[in-house]
Amino acid sequence: YGLSITRRMWNRTFEGITGDVNIDANGDRIADYSLLDMDPETAEFKVVANYIGLKHSLEYVPDARIHWAGGRQNPPPDTPVCGFDNSLCKTMPGYAILSIVLSSVVVVLAIASVFIYRHYKLEAEIASMTWRVNYRDIVRVPPGKLRGSVYSLVRRSSQCTAFSDDAMSVCDMGRQVFVPTAFYKGNKVAIKSVKKARIELSRPLLLELKRMKDLHHDHLVRFYGACIDQPDCFLLTEYCPKGSLQDILENDQFKLDWMFRYSLMHDIVKGMSYLHASEIKSHGSLKSSNCVVDSRFVLKIADFGLRSLRHCDDSCSGSDSYAFWRKLLWTAPELLRMRQPPPEGTQKGDVYSFAIIVHEIVTRQGPFYVGDLPLGPKEIVEGVRNGQKCLRPTTELACEEEVTSLMKRCWAEDPADRPDFTCLKATIRRLNKDNESNNILDNLLTRMEQYANNLEALVEERTADYLEEKRKCEELLYQLLPKSVASQLILGQSVVAETYDHVTIYFSDIVGFTSLSAESTPLQVVDLLNDLYTCFDSIIENFDVYKVETIGDAYMVVSGLPMRNGNQHAREIARMSLALLNAVLTFTIRHRPKDQLKLRIGMHTGPCVAGVVGLKMPRYCLFGDTVNTASRMESNGQALKIHVSPYTKEVLDTFGTFELELRGEVEMKGKGKMTTYWLQGEKKTSPTNQLGLTPNNVSAPISTPNCNRHVNSVANSKPKVNSKSTNEISATTPLLQGDGST
For 653-675, how does the pLDDT look when each residue is reduced to its tens digit (9 = 90+)? Answer: 998 889 999 988 888 887 888 89
Strands 163-164 and 223-229 come out as unpaired
Measured CA to CA, the distance from residue 674 to residue 668 in angstroms comes to: 7
Sign of the Cα pseudo-torsion (421, 427, 432, 437, in order): positive
Residue-level pLDDT at 607: 93
Are 680 and 659 in contact by the 8 Å Cβ rule? The answer is yes
- This prediction has a pTM of 0.53
Alpha helices for 595-713 (secondary structure H): 625-635, 646-653, 707-713
DSSP 131: T
Instruction: Name the more confident of 605 and 295.
Output: 605
DSSP 199-255: ----HHHHHHHHHHHH---TTB--EEEEEEETTEEEEEEE--TT-BHHHHHH-TTS-
Measured CA to CA, the distance from residue 407 to residue 393 in angstroms comes to: 10
**How would residue 312 be classed by pLDDT, with cut points 50, 70 and 90?**
low
What average pLDDT does the segment 539-556 reach?
88
Residue-level pLDDT at 319: 67
**How would residue 332 be classed by pLDDT, with cut points 50, 70 and 90?**
very high
Instruction: Name the more confident of 301 and 454.
Output: 301
pLDDT at 573 over 90: yes
Q: What is the dihedral of CA 571, 577, 580, 585, to 10 degrees?
A: -130
Query: pLDDT tens digits, residue range 644-653?
Result: 999 999 999 9
Determine the Cα angle at 435 with ends 267 and 409, to 5°. 50
Are 652 and 660 in contact by the 8 Å Cβ rule? The answer is yes
What average pLDDT does the segment 608-617 reach?
82
Specify which residues 645 forms β-bridges with: none
Are 505 and 713 in contact by the 8 Å Cβ rule? The answer is no
Strands 170-171 and 163-164 come out as antiparallel
Residue-level pLDDT at 315: 52
Which of 72-76, 313-317, 732-736 shows the lowest per-residue confidence on average (mean pLDDT)?
732-736
pLDDT at 486 over 50: yes
Who's near 25: CB < 8 A, 6+ residues apart? Answer: 10, 11
Domains and CATH numbers, the chain: 1-60 (no CATH), 135-144+175-312+328-437 (1.10.510.10), 482-682 (3.30.70.1230)
Residue-level pLDDT at 76: 84
pLDDT at 525 over 60: yes
Residue in 662, 664, 604 with CA at minimum distance from that of residue 632 = 604
pLDDT at 688 over 80: no
Q: Is the peptide bond before 562 cis (omega within 30 degrees of 0)?
A: yes
What average pLDDT does the segment 1-20 reach?
77
Q: Is the peptide bond before 377 cis (omega within 30 degrees of 0)?
A: no
Residue-level pLDDT at 169: 37
Residue-level pLDDT at 322: 86
Instruction: Name the more confident of 78 and 91.
Output: 78
Query: pLDDT tens digits, residue range 497-516?
Result: 888 989 999 999 888 888 88
Specify which residues 314 forms β-bridges with: none
Alpha helices for 481-567 (secondary structure H): 483-490, 513-518, 522-540
Residue 666 phi/psi, 5-degree rounding, is: -130, 135
Give the three-state DSSP class for 692.
Answer: coil
Are 658 and 545 in contact by the 8 Å Cβ rule? The answer is no
Q: What is the dihedral of CA 620, 598, 601, 517, to 10 degrees?
A: -40
